[in-house]
Amino acid sequence: MPSVASIVARSYPDQIIGIENELPWHLGTDLQLFKKRTQGHAVIMGRKTFESIGRPLPNRKNIILSRSEPEYLNEYKDLVWAPNPTTAFLLADMASIISGKMEFFVIGGEQIYKTFHSYLNRIFVTDVFCGPINGDAKFEVDFDSKTRGTKSEWIIDDEEEFPKSEKDEFPFRITEYRRRVPYHRYRVKEELMGRAPDIDSYWEQYELKLHQLEEDAGEQLDFFR
């Protein structure tokens, strides 16, 4: 199944990501990079984060996690609702397969980052050098934590510093972490090809395309050729 990635901006060193359901800063360059990385992919977010953004992110399948169906669900074409993380995974897998993407993104907030953390293989972390700030949401991940005693669980693939600028209220650094031992997810074919119980309302959107993919793939169902 597609790999799971995440993107987060947090204050350094306090790890604050939000206050009163808003971002504590404006970083235009960081937002542009977020857009570039996530465009065309499925994104999973919590109901509070969706409401803080106020609309679906364009050119992305927006999957919103909420225990009850959001009343505005049908107002937007690219918004789908998942009542639990299992359904969010299924919807993100289907959307990724249909669009030929090998990765989808978990984009917050605090609750959702925690829920999906153990499945993430890649995380883009923006450390914002804003000094001490007030906040009520955090992203508390220690990227130096060790697995099997000696090696850290995360490897740094890339790191870049950005100065304060007209577009960016504070200087920041973006680090791309990769999980040393990737988490692989598998599904039996029938899980995707058969009608899954939680997603009835989305099924029509997917059914045709999945069967087309199966026809094209023949015996070997290889989604990412």
Ligand X SMILES: NC(=O)c1ccc[n+]([C@@H]2O[C@H](COP(=O)([O-])OP(=O)(O)OC[C@H]3O[C@@H](n4cnc5c(N)ncnc54)[C@H](OP(=O)(O)O)[C@@H]3O)[C@@H](O)[C@H]2O)c1
Per CB under 6 A, residues contacting ligand X are 8-9, 17-18, 21-23, 46-49, 52, 65-68, 83-85, 107-112, 115, 137
Shortest reach from residue 164's CB to ligand X, in Å: 18
To the nearest 5 percent, what fractions of the chain are helix, strand and coil? 30, 30, 40
The nearer residue to ligand X, 86 or 147, going by C-beta atoms, is: 86
Nearest-CA neighbor of 124 among 42, 38, 58, 194? 38
The nearer residue to ligand X, 45 or 98, going by C-beta atoms, is: 45
The nearer residue to ligand X, 29 or 52, going by C-beta atoms, is: 52
Shortest reach from residue 111's CB to ligand X, in Å: 4
From residue 101, give the alpha-carbon distance in Å to each of 67, 122, 128, 168, 194: 27, 15, 29, 30, 21
The nearer residue to ligand X, 22 or 200, going by C-beta atoms, is: 22
Shortest reach from residue 204's CB to ligand X, in Å: 23
Tell me the backbone φ, ψ of residue 184, rounded to 5 degrees.
-100, 135
Distance between CA atoms of 134 and 24, rounded to whole angstroms? Answer: 8
Give the bridge partners for 122, in sequence order. 5, 178
Q: Which two tokens stand for residue 215?
A: 């026809």
Q: Omega of the bond prior to 197 within 30 degrees of 0, cis?
A: no
Contact 95, 104 (CB under 8 A): yes
The nearer residue to ligand X, 121 or 126, going by C-beta atoms, is: 126
Shortest reach from residue 41's CB to ligand X, in Å: 16
Shortest reach from residue 61's CB to ligand X, in Å: 17
Shortest reach from residue 27's CB to ligand X, in Å: 10
The nearer residue to ligand X, 95 or 98, going by C-beta atoms, is: 95
